[in-house]
Amino acid sequence: MHHHETSRTVSHSAEEMFDLVADVEKYPQFVPFCERLNVRGRKQIEGRTILVADMTVGYKMLRETFTSKVTLDREALSIRADYLDGPFRTMENIWTFERLGENQAKIHFCIDYEFKSRTLATLMGAMFDRVFRTFAASFERRADTLYGTEGAPSRA
């Protein structure tokens, strides 16, 4: 099983960062290797938004599409994606957003995944590792583009 975890302090509010990560349809515009994202359905359950989405990632000649159930909990400032179908045996990722001030937040990203086959892990593993290492930084850059910058963010 592969595990990646990162925390970053950013110069944007926790709510802005939550909204940015929750806007999954825009991922192909700025998330590394994300070529397509299609939301199959969206519904409200007990104050949370639940959606099912297909994400296609690619690098050079390799392409894989996987399906996840994404739970957006704005009140708790958390987003959880649970794997449903595709090339993985398992995949789970969690985003949490902590308020540090009016225009400052700590974002935490954690992902655990395992490919179904060793062959696919060999072919796709390095690409996925690279994607997840740069994932949080790509969201921070996107926030800077959308919301502007008010000071240099510190990294934790």
Query: Cα separations (Å) of 16 from 80, 111, 125, 144?
Result: 17, 21, 31, 11
CA dist., res. 68 & res. 151, Å (int): 35
**pLDDT above 60: residue 116:** yes
**Least confident stretch, 40-54, 71-85, 86-100, 136-150:** 136-150
Q: What is the reported pTM?
A: 0.87
- Domain containing 117: what range? 2-147
Residue 155's pLDDT is what? 42
Does residue 154 lie within any of the structural domains?
A: no
Q: In the sheet that 2-10 helps form, which strands lie side by side, from edge to edge?
A: 2-10, 104-115, 88-101, 78-85, 62-73, 48-59, 34-45
Does residue 152 lie within any of the structural domains?
A: no
Does residue 127 lie within any of the structural domains?
A: yes
Does residue 138 lie within any of the structural domains?
A: yes
Tell me the average pLDDT across 13-20: 96
Does residue 156 lie within any of the structural domains?
A: no
* Number of domains the chain contains: 1
Amino acid sitting at position 92 = E
Tell me the average pLDDT across 112-117: 88
Contact predicate 1/90, CB 8 Å:
yes
**pLDDT above 70: residue 150:** no
What beta strand segments (E) does 1-141 contain? Answer: 2-10, 34-45, 48-59, 62-73, 78-85, 88-101, 104-115
pLDDT digits (tens, 9 = 90+) for 54-97: 999 887 777 889 999 999 999 999 999 999 999 899 999 999 99
Does residue 155 lie within any of the structural domains?
A: no
Does residue 134 lie within any of the structural domains?
A: yes
Does residue 31 lie within any of the structural domains?
A: yes
What CATH number should be reported for the domain holding residue 40?
Answer: 3.30.530.20
